Amino acid sequence: MIQNLLQTPIEYLKGVGPNRAELLKKELNIETYRDLINFFPNRYIDKTGFYKINQLQQNSSEVQIVGKIVHLKTVEQKRGKRLVADFIDDTGRMELVWFRGHKWIKENLKLNTPYVIFGKTNWYNGLFNMPHPEMELVSDYKKNLRTAMQPVYPSTEMLAKKGITNRVIMKLMQEVLKQTGLKFSESLNPEIIDELKLIPKADALFNVHFPKSQELLAKAQFRLKFEELFFVQIQLLRKNLLHKQKIKGFNFDKIGENFNTFFQEHLPFDLTGAQKRVIKEIRGDMGSGAQMNRLLQGDVGSGKTIVGLMSMFIALDNGFQACLMAPTEILSVQHYNGLVELCKGLKTSIYLLTGSTKASKRREIHEKLENGEIDILIGTHALLEDKVKFKNLGLAIIDEQHRFGVAQRAKLWKKNIIPPHILVMTATPIPRTLAMSLYGDLDISVIDELPPGRKPVKTVHRFDSNRLKVFRFLKEEIQKGRQVYIVYPLIQESEKMDYKDLMDGYESIAREFPEYQISIVHGQMKPADKDYEMDRFVRAETQIMVATTVIEVGVNVPNASVMIIESAERFGLSQLHQLRGRVGRGAEQSYCILMTGHKLSNDSKTRLETMTATNDGFEIAEVDLKLRGPGDLMGTQQSGVLNLKIADIVKDNSILQTARHYAGKVLKADPNLQEEHNLPIKNAYSRLVKNKTIWNYIS
Ligand SMILES: Nc1ncnc2c1ncn2[C@@H]1O[C@H](COP(=O)(O)OP(=O)(O)OP(=O)(O)O)[C@@H](O)[C@H]1O
């Protein structure tokens, strides 16, 4: 019954009608009673107290005062007229000021009559004033329904123009809540309500709009935020669960010769605890009978490659092939060389397939792949071509998932009836909180420990005016046999200017260091030229690499120990961190020097300070998320995270963790929500699924 009422088009609510309904739909996406109730205030004005004029402070925020206007005058100013009223109470005098709407005010304001005024005060010329106060006659004030805390709803210019003020929305909200009789169906189970001491749903919905006190508001918000995040998590976890039930995977339960020989005889170092844990998680997945869909996150240089290789051995040991796909030619070649090196002395047959593989080699690879002579194939997008047919692909590893879409991932496994296991590796740290929401349908492994003995990169911030000193330092490092990167920003909108900066920089470096060889790499070069320059640097034929951010991802030159980032204030935090990850990969002490001018915004300062303070990618990602909000992070746009109505993915981190915990607990005990006590969850969930939205969780 309440369900039907909540579906009612907003047009039929008292005080709305067709015109307003049209506006509410267009401006606020409010079409039904339910939508209106789900439209939450973004702040509240605390009107619990009254101020006297002599109590006002210069930094008072919004205040409420009772007094009367004793005089009204128009003051001419250069910038236009303003209307000024003398307002007094029994303790003092202040001014009320209007810059517009004079005619209406003059005609309607009553002199010498008590008013309640509300607004922000300023201190000007030895007197307090309040511009454009909200005013209400004391006689009306007593009559009108009010709550101690007044909700302030998000609004738009159009709504204000058409007279749908905050007050109007409040009236509509009162009306709609009255009509529901506050009889909302429960949507959580009694255990959760009990353990978290949640207030009843009706109380939460009433108090979030018209809080009776700060305390009740906090409780109302907690309950609604929890509920919102809980259902997001239920949905993601169920998707994961269904996937596992539905999509069968190869059951790789054998650990055989490849894995064991490598582990016992060829492992070049001891695995870190984190690497061991992750390998175990992957083994568990591959032997579970369901298809693995795992995201492996590891900070730059944390040792993901070896984890990838050992996972491939598991596939090989069970008689299957494996592949590794990387976003660029350079990275594919690098992976190929790295894996060939690691597999020296083993019988593993490893091939490389990229866009520049010659036709004859390509034919050979196609053939050997189909008859099973290739164990591991490494490459770029070229792996996705129709001609590439595996005999039996058991595991596909995808490096840097941001560059490959989900559709492309799927393309890899359309080739098989049973899909291969999928391991996505990324060095882009995604804050755990966000990862939980974004990739709830992937399982996540994190390598959160660097190999021992790694010297953290020393990071400093230097102003452009100190450039000569920085150059002197560079020289010393190169003389010790090291190589250096100098990176310039390349941002699309100002590509031309950036290109000029890069070239100017290149020339000044060539002048400064005539005795050294310099490579240059930027986005406008042909791929073959880029590879050639890169290759010279990798082989240490050049000492200095001048580049734009194209070198950001994954390049591994252990001998490079200095990274200079020019105009560092123009880079995002995660980008700076990725760039810094290009050094500190060898045994030598490495340095990252962030160069900027003197003029810096607060955000830039925070970014630079964060970089100099920590090397931890996850910590950096958290700061990044706080600075930019989730909107800018890759993938969030499609994920719906931004459509949260009341919770905030950054600020409500701990509620998110709680929601995740309870959603997991409920589904673990009762995957199909069939138990009696979970009926409210089941009902709420099916309504959400039916409405194709998880956000309208109000029953
Ligand atoms: N357990 C370990 N002990 C010592 N060295 C290790 C260990 N694991 C990996 N390494 C070495 O650390 C370096 C970085 O490893 P790897 O290239 O796999 O990192 P990554 O996670 O792929 O980083 P990036 O994303 O920056 O490429 C390599 O030279 C590798 O040989």
The tens digit of pLDDT for each residue in 77-96 reads: 777 788 999 999 999 999 99
Q: Which helix (H) or strand (E) holds 414?
A: helix 406-414
In a domain, 390, yes or no: yes
Question: Is any atom of ligand 1 closer than 6 Å to the C-beta of 303?
Answer: yes
Question: Is any atom of ligand 1 closer than 6 Å to the C-beta of 449?
Answer: no
Ligand 1 nearest-atom number relative to CA 585: 13
Single-letter amino acid code for the residue at 414 = K
412 and 289 housed in the same domain: yes
Distances (CA, A) of 353 to 252, 335, 347, 382, 535: 26, 12, 19, 7, 18
378 and 512 housed in the same domain: no
Question: Is any atom of ligand 1 closer than 6 Å to the C-beta of 305?
Answer: yes
62 and 39 housed in the same domain: no
DSSP 8-class letter at 697: -
290 and 422 housed in the same domain: yes
Weakest mean pLDDT among 431-445, 633-647, 649-663: 633-647
Give the confidence band of 413 by pLDDT, cuts at 50, 70, 90.
low
Q: Which residue has the tokens 């329904």?
A: 145
In a domain, 629, yes or no: no
Give distance in angstroms: CA of 450 to centre of ligand 1. Answer: 8
In a domain, 317, yes or no: yes
Residue 354 near residue 388, CB atoms below 8 Å: no
57 and 40 housed in the same domain: no
Tell me the pLDDT tens digit for each residue of 311-323.
999 999 999 999 9
Phi and psi angles of residue 611, each rounded to the nearest 5 degrees, phi first: -65, -40
| Pairing, β 134-137 against β 376-379 | unpaired
pLDDT higher than threshold 70 for residue 326: yes
**Percent of the chain clearing pLDDT 70 (strictly above):** 88
In a domain, 622, yes or no: no
266 and 241 housed in the same domain: no
Give distance in angstroms: CA of 43 to centre of ligand 1. Answer: 48
Q: Which residue has the tokens 């002490």?
A: 589
Ligand 1 nearest-atom number relative to CA 558: 29
Structure tokens at 485: 């990167």
Tell me the pLDDT tens digit for each residue of 208-240.
999 988 899 999 999 999 999 898 888 878 877
In a domain, 698, yes or no: no
- Measuring CA to CA, which residue among 367, 428, 380, 442 is closest to residue 408? 380
Number of folded domains that form the chain = 5
In a domain, 627, yes or no: no
**Which residues 6+ apart lie within 8 Å of 70 measured at CB?**
86, 87, 88, 111, 112
Q: Residue 14's Cα: distance from chain center in Å?
A: 41
232 and 377 housed in the same domain: no
Instruction: Tell me which residue range forms the domain holding 19.
Output: 2-45+154-180
Question: Is any atom of ligand 1 closer than 6 Å to the C-beta of 384?
Answer: no
Q: CA–CA separation, 532 vs 254, rounded Å?
A: 43
Q: CA–CA separation, 437 vs 414, rounded Å?
A: 27
pLDDT higher than threshold 90 for residue 128: yes
Neighbours of 146 (CB within 10 A): 13
**CATH for 574:** 3.40.50.300
For residue 385, give the 3-state DSSP assignment: coil
166 and 224 housed in the same domain: no
Nearest CA to ligand 1 atom 30: 303
* Mean pLDDT (whole number) for 553-561: 79
- Measuring CA to CA, which residue among 272, 265, 385 is closest to residue 323? 385
434 and 463 housed in the same domain: no
First to last CA, the chain: 10
Give the confidence band of 698 by pLDDT, cuts at 50, 70, 90.
very low
Residue 620 near residue 486, CB atoms below 8 Å: no
Nearest CA to ligand 1 atom 31: 303
Q: To test ligand 1's pocket by mutation, which of 269, 296, 423 has the most ligand atoms within 8 angstroms of CB?
A: 269
Phi and psi angles of residue 335, each rounded to the nearest 5 degrees, phi first: -60, -45
In a domain, 619, yes or no: no
426 and 480 housed in the same domain: no
Structure tokens at 423: 């391991």
21 and 159 housed in the same domain: yes
200 and 294 housed in the same domain: no
pLDDT higher than threshold 90 for residue 76: no
Single-letter amino acid code for the residue at 341 = E
Question: Is any atom of ligand 1 closer than 6 Å to the C-beta of 572?
Answer: no
**CATH for 132:** 2.40.50.140
Q: Map 629-684 to HEC letters.
A: CHHHCCCHHHHCHHHCCCCCCCCCHHHHHHHHHHHHHHHHHCCCCCCHHHHHHHHH
In a domain, 524, yes or no: yes
